[in-house]
Structure formats: C-alpha cells, structure tokens
Structure 1
Amino acid sequence: MGLKIKTVLVTGASSGIGLDIARGFLEKGFNVVLNARDEERLSIAKKTLGDEKRTANVVGDIGDPETGEKMVRAAVDRFGSVDVLVNNAGIFGAKPFLENTEEDIDRFIHINLKGTYFVSQAAVRQMKQQGGGSIVNIGTVLVSHPIGSIPASAAMITKGGVHALTTSLASELAADNIRVNLVAPGMIRTPLWGDANVDDFGGVALLNRVGEVQEITEAVFSLATAGFTTGVILPVDGGYVHGRA
C-alpha cells in the first residue's frame, strides 16, 4: 500500500466482528488500538487477545468527536502511528417504518453515521501527516438489497450514509495517499442476533449458509493492505446480492 503498516484502530472491538478483526491484525503483526463503550467488556476483550504489549484500549462513545481523537493519541503515543482505521462499530435494529421515533433515528445517526465520520476525521488528520493510510468501513448488503421481513429503514439510512461516505472520501483523499474501502457483510453469525437462529437465514445466500466473523476479517485485511484499491464496496455475503441459484 505504499507505506509500512504498523498500527490499526478498531472501533466496536469488544465482541463479534470487531474483536475478530483485532485478533486478525494482531496475528499479522500489527499493533491494535481497541475501542468500545463498555470498559469492562473491552478489558475482557483485550485479555482474550492475550498480547498486552501490542494492544491499547480506548473506552468511549464514537459519536462524540473526542473519542476518535483519544484513539489517535493513544496510537501515536504508544505505537508511533495510525496506519489503518477499521470503522466497525455500529448498531442495528429491525422496526417497522411507521413505528420509528425521533429517538430511534437519532440513536442510529449518532453511532452509525456520526461515529464513523468523526473517528475518520481524527484518523485522517494523522494519516495526512504520515503521508498516507487506509480506512476500511463496515456497511451491510441490506443497504442495496433489503429483506421485507427485516424492516430496518432507520438503520439503513445511516449505513447507506457510510457507503456514500466511503466513495466520497476515496475520491477526496486519494491525493493524500489515503485509501477508503468498505466491506458489506451479509448474514454473519455474531452476538447481534441475540436469541434468533441466524442459520435460518442461510438460505438467502447462493452458498446456502451464513458467514462467520473470520470471513469478514479476511476481507477487511485484504482491503486494508491492497495498495491499488480504493472506493470499493465489497459484499461478503455468500452470493446473497446475486439471488438464489
């Protein structure tokens, strides 16, 4: 990618996809700055990763601009640089269109849209000083291929904004040697499903199964290190966007 990658920032890193992304980058030799809102869960996540020397925790709400700034300071002070940002933190919820309240909309905007925007701002300021970097956002295939039985318009207008931000920043920041891409997961086995049986949704994919968090990590790492790739929206969905065979 034109520069030696040393440190990655991962938001929403206390469980699920974010925690596995942190694990994957650690295994590749990266330093990792982890973020989540819950201090106890983030502490447990760091212990799970088992590498105190190459990990740092920053507790905070990414919808608040100072959280991204704290993450960048932690990375620079501890490890010397910010080379990759993975905007993984986000919330999802299914609710019929006519039942969504102003509070619902504000909650999705705060985390999904403002959070991604403000953490990216903080990281890009540092990346420009270093001569480049890479951002990988996490979106969803449901932005362009919704499912009627999962009404999620409030979540999707904000995730759609993240998709738009990805291509916009890819264009704006290319001259600064900063690449911006997005992984759009399909149905992935994560704690977000709660008590629901995620395997019930495996049939929507051509591969006739749900995805695993490790498969998202592989895609994120590939885009983070692909030096001639920017502005890409990459579905990782088992062929869901192409319909059933």
Structure 2
Amino acid sequence: MAFPSYTQIMKALLEVLSDKGGEANCNDVIDELASRFGLTPEEREIKDNGQYKFNHMCHTARVQLVRKEALANDSPRGIWSLAKVDQWRQPSTTELEGSETLKKNLHDDLKKKMVDIGNKLRYNTSTEETCAGYRHDVLWKPGAYRKDPSHVIEICAGGSLPKDFDALSVANRELSAKGILVAVDDTDYVKAKQRFENQPDIVVVKAETVDRLHELMMTDLEFLKSIFSE
C-alpha cells in the first residue's frame, strides 16, 4: 500500500488531538490515525529499518509539529498535546509542507544542537568553516591548537544530499575525520545509509535521534558518562 504522506499525517494528528480535547495518549492517537487512514493490522506490522513504519512516521510528524510550536514540547511522557488548547488553529498546508524558512529553521536548530553536544563532549566546535575544499555545517576539534577536525557534521534539511556526501567523504579521506550526517527526511536517511554502508567512519542519524540525545545530554550528562565509562 501507499502510506500517507507526512503532511497528511500532521494534519490528521492535529485534528485527532483537537477532537480529543487537546491532548491524548500517543498510542491512542496513533491507533486513531491508523483507523482514519484505513490501515490494516498487517500494514501496521510493516517495518522499515527495524521500526514499525507507520508508528515511526507518526512520531516523526509529531516532532515536526513540536518544532513548529503546534504541539507542546513539555507534555508528560506518552502524552501528545496541542501547544495552546484554547488558541489552537489548523496550520495551512504550506506551513505543514515546510517553506524554505521552516527548512532553514530546522537546519539551524540541528546545527546548534550538534554544537551543544560537541561542547558537552569537550570538543572545540565551529560552524560554517571551510576545510578540505568544503564549507561544513559543524566541526569538532579535539584541542584548541588542532587545525584539522576529528569530526565533520553535515545537516541535510532539504539541501543538496550529493554535496553532503562528497563533503563527508573528502574530509574522511583527506583529514581522517569521522563524519556525521543528520537527515531530516526519511528518504534522505535511507539514501545516506545506503551510500555509506561500507564506510564505518561516517555515521548517518535521523534528526529526532539528535533531538533525543541533545535533550538527554543537556540534563543528565553524568548519567551517560557513568554508563559508558570503563
């Protein structure tokens, strides 16, 4: 079957929450969305990269709506809610599909989070710096006097995916830098995973993974250190 688009899911998600009084358990919302789109039990079991495809699409749609401030970012765990129940309005299709401004905001938000994560890991970070012939979104350097980066990060939020591929590959080959590609779109994520399948020094992650890691590191870094320290 053809699964609904993210735009369709986002619009329906807002409608479901509005119908439920502004907030509801996330599993109940996903069940209602599946019913509205006519998904069969078998279709809901379809997996993509080890995750239930439709459930993952719903969670991704929710992340995008939180970024647009249409949904609350501080709801209790497992609860999805409208940002302002008494002032809720249906965003336009243009808003949901993502204008160039939205894409830039997503790009800048993820770039800032990768800088924050790098700083927490005690790297010297920089943005929009040119090395190995490419201007990179974020660089992590292991020391103040180290010229070359140890990590090169590219954020793909509707930009040129082939250019990001080349930038990471060249940095890895010429500088021995590890690469991180953050993909906002699921299609870009799949393409990037396939492209770097045999290059273990270049990691591809989804935007929501960065969101979760950033949230955890900003609040509980010592806990993370206790897990991974020898």
Normalised to the residue count of structure 1, the TM-score between the two structures is 0.27
Normalised to the residue count of structure 2, the TM-score between the two structures is 0.28
For the pair shown, the structure with the greater C-alpha radius of gyration is 2
